[in-house]
Chains A and B, each alone.
Chain A
Amino acid sequence: MKKAWWKILTAALLLYTVIGGLIFDVPRLNILNETIRALHFHVPMWFGMIIMLLTSVIYSIKYLKSGDYNHDIKSVEFANTGIVFGLLGIVTGMVWAQFTWGEWWSGDPKQNAAAIGMLIYMAFMVLRGSLEDEQQRARISAVYNIFAFPSLVVLLFILPRLTDSLHPGNGGNPGFNAYDLDSNLRLVFYPAVIGWALLGLWLTTLKIRYRKLQEKLFIDS
């Protein structure tokens, strides 16, 4: 029970996010209107994805340094959760885009970048699938994971800034900048980010434990 405090915190934060995000008063902005509530569900997915993928890369580096197989399991599972978050981010974004931009997919640079980012990590999984030897698989996929990360950074943080985006806050669209993000939104947004990230961590720890048990069964039998 002592170690469960952060899980209880996660549940509480997410409950608060769902209730507060749907009920609290939101500012009325042009175009966005009520869809501004997507801020609490769509944006934290990207934060979560970036945190998960960054952790995955860190574990890959640790694996290359130490050769400890546990690090490999962690890096894969964090990447897996990152993919889930990325896909959810794309889906929530598409639903939102349908109501604000009028199209499910409007070729926005950030949308495209996110889709390419997902391709990178799916390629990572394909690479892992095609290597038989365990040690080799761990090492080579760690190398690819680290190699691909800079281009993910370029995709998510540099390219969208070189072009205009339809996203709020870019290219003259009303945004959630420091000026617009009013204190009511922040009251839900920050807990939402922390809550979703913790949920990702929780999912990952469960997957890691599951994987370790699987290996143990395999070795025992």
Chain B
Amino acid sequence: MNKEKNNKIRYLKQLNTLIKKELTLEWRQKFAINGILLYLASTIFICYMSFRLKGNLINPITWNALFWIIIVFTAINSISKSFNQEREGRQLYYYLIANPQAIILSKIIYNSGLMLLLSLIGYWVYGLIMNNPVENHWLFLINLCLASTGFASTLTLISAIASKANNSGALMAVLSFPVMLPMLLIVIKISKNAMDGLSTSTSMDEILTLVAINMIVVTVSYLLFPYLWRS
């Protein structure tokens, strides 16, 4: 009993250290996150320029689709590096000292946090430049949080898979699009409801499905990662 408890504490400590490690790494490579922020801002600006927006010209469906496309591409770009940024030798070192499940969990938690931050900033900038037709803000924000954690956890495992292959850049997109699409379709539907100002209770079904998918993705990654890690 005591031993089990000890193990649990050690596991949590490991998780904590690993998340801290990710944060320090990000802090030391500030150019990476700055790059992603710039990517986000310039994509939004490109959309703004190419639609020649003045006032309320864009229709809500386009607004919605464009926003989520931007978020998806930002997610793919920011998370695809999560297994590539460290050198082989260091990966081997982690392999020796850390529990693989703690590693994937720490990466998922860290990436979710990162995506949450990015999508909130993205939403703010997008709303500022392209107008903000959303009426039910709470629903939209809940949806945004669920979507960014969902994208982050899906992409974390995919980036682990893609990092093992040769042309990981193209592979990352090819592997992740079809897997993310069901999630994306539900997310777009909820956010359309939020834009139309429908009450939160009307989209409860979709929200629950989204939560369920998120949980499935995290569990499956948790179970599968040790096999990937071994190679």
Chain A interfacial positions (CB closer than 8 Å to B): 64, 113, 116-117, 119-120, 123, 126-127, 130-132, 135-136, 139-140, 142-144, 146-148, 150-151, 154-155, 158-159, 162-163
Q: Flag if A119 contacts B220 (CB, 8 Å).
A: no
A-B contact pairs, 18 of them (CB 8 A): A64-B227, A123-B178, A126-B174, A130-B166, A132-B166, A135-B231, A136-B231, A139-B231, A140-B164, A140-B228, A143-B157, A143-B161, A147-B224, A155-B181, A158-B209, A159-B185, A162-B186, A162-B209
Chain A proximity of B180: nearest CB distance (Å) = 8
Interface secondary structure of B, over-half rule? helix
- Is B205's beta carbon under 8 Å from chain A? yes
Q: Closest residue to A143 on the B side, CB-wise?
A: B224
Question: What chain A residues lie within 8 Å of B167 (beta carbons)?
Answer: 130
Within 166-196 of B, Cβ neighbours of A (below 8 Å) are at: 166-167, 171, 174-175, 177-183, 185-186, 189
The CA-CA distance from A159 to B185 in the complex, in Å, is 9
Distance (whole angstroms) from the CB of A163 to the closest CB of chain B: 8
Which of A132, A135, A140, A155 sits near B182, CB closer than 8 Å? A155
Give the contacting residue for B179; candidates A126, A142, A148; CB below 8 A. A148
Other contacts beyond A64-B227, A130-B165: 9, CB < 8 A = A117-B178, A120-B178, A135-B231, A139-B228, A139-B230, A147-B161, A147-B221, A154-B209, A163-B189
**Nearest 4 interchain pairs by C-beta:** A119-B178, A120-B178, A154-B182, A130-B165
Contact residues in B for A140 (Cβ distance below 8 Å):
161, 164-165, 228, 231
| Contact call B164/A142, Cβ cutoff below 8 A | no
List residues of chain A with CB within 8 A of the CB of B216. Answer: 150
Most chain A CB atoms below 10 A, which of B178, B217, B231:
B178
Determine the chain A residues whose CB is within 8 A of the CB of B213 once the complex forms: 150-151, 154
B26: Cβ under 8 A from any A Cβ: no
Determine which of A131, A139, A146, A158 lies in contact with B220 in the assembled complex, contact meaning CB atoms within 8 Å. Answer: A146
**A135 to B221, alpha carbons, bound, how many Å?**
20
Q: Which residues of A contact B171 (CB under 8 A)?
A: 126-127, 130
Distance (whole angstroms) from the CB of A140 to the closest CB of chain B: 5
Q: Which residues 50-105 of B sit at the A interface, judged by CB distance below 8 A?
A: none
B227–A143 touching, CB < 8 Å: yes
Minimum C-beta distance from B173 to chain A (A): 9
For B227, the chain A residues whose CB sits under 8 A away are 64, 139, 142-143
